[in-house]
Amino acid sequence: MLCLVLLYKASQFFVQEQEMKQAKLARYPSAGIDIPSNYLLHGIDISSYQGFIYWHAVKKMKMGDTQVDFVFIKATEGLNSSDKLFQRNWDSLKAEQITKGAYHFFLATKNGKIQARNFIRTVKLQKNDLPPAVDIEHLYGVPPLLMQKRMKECLVALEQYYGVKPVIYTNIAFYNTYLGEEFDSYPLWIANYLQNEKPRIERDWLFWQHSNEGHVNGIRTKVDFNVFYSDSTAFKKILIP
C-alpha cells in the first residue's frame, strides 16, 4: 500500500513538473483580443482550470501600454470545496507583488452563511488585497427569493468578517433578472462580452470582464480579461485597508 502511495505521489510530482515547464514556454506576441481603450488598469481572473501558471512571465508581459495589474483567483465553491491550486497561486502572486483578490463560486442550493465560512476559512485577506468577491450565475432551480436570501446571508457574513463590502460577480442578464435593486448597494463585477467601450448595464460597476478569450504569457489556456472602471487613485481606495 505504501509503495502505491509513493508511486502516486511521484507521478503527480512528475505531472506538475511537466505542466510547469509548459507554462514557462507559453508565450504570446499579444493578448489575442481587442482590449477596451480608455482604461488604465487591467486584470485577469483564473482558477485551477488554467493549470499551473508561471506568474513571473505573467507579471513581465507587456501588451502595448497594457499589463496585468490585478488578478482574481477562485478560492472556494459551495459549502466546503476549495480550488486545488488556490494557495499556490495566492502565494505566488504575493511573491510577484501583483495585486490579488479571491472569489467564491456561490451555489444557490446551499446555505449562504456556511458558504461564507468556507471562504473565510480559506482566504486570509491582508492590507492592499482586493475585497472578497462572490460569483453567482445560476439559480439551479432555486426560487429567486430564496436565492436572494441566501446570497444576502453570505454577503453580510463576509462584510462582517473582513470589514469591507464584498463584490458581486455576475452577467448582465442574471443581475437584471434576479438581483437588481436588492443588491445595488454592492460593488459590481460585471461580465459582458463583445462590447467595445463599456458594459451594457445601467448601474455603476467596479470591474468589467470584457472577454474570456485572452492569452497571457505563462498561462497555457485562454484567460478572462477585466478592466477597472477608474484610475490608480480610485483603485487604491477599494483595497483592504
Nearest of 164, 172, 173 to residue 188 by alpha carbon = 172
Give the pLDDT of residue 161: 98
Please identify every residue annotated as catalytic. 45, 137
Confidence of residue 2 (pLDDT cuts 50, 70, 90): low
SS3 call for 28: coil
Q: With cut-offs at 50, 70 and 90, classify the pLDDT of residue 22.
A: confident
Confidence of residue 189 (pLDDT cuts 50, 70, 90): very high
**Which residue segments constitute the domains of the chain, with CATH numbers given?**
2-238 (3.20.20.80)
Predicted pLDDT at 16: 58
Inform me whether the pLDDT recorded for 10 exceeds 50. Answer: no
- The tens digit of pLDDT for each residue in 54-75 reads 999 999 999 998 999 999 999 9
* pTM, to two decimals: 0.92
Whole-Å CA distances, 157 to 17, 58, 73, 119, 153:
39, 33, 20, 10, 6
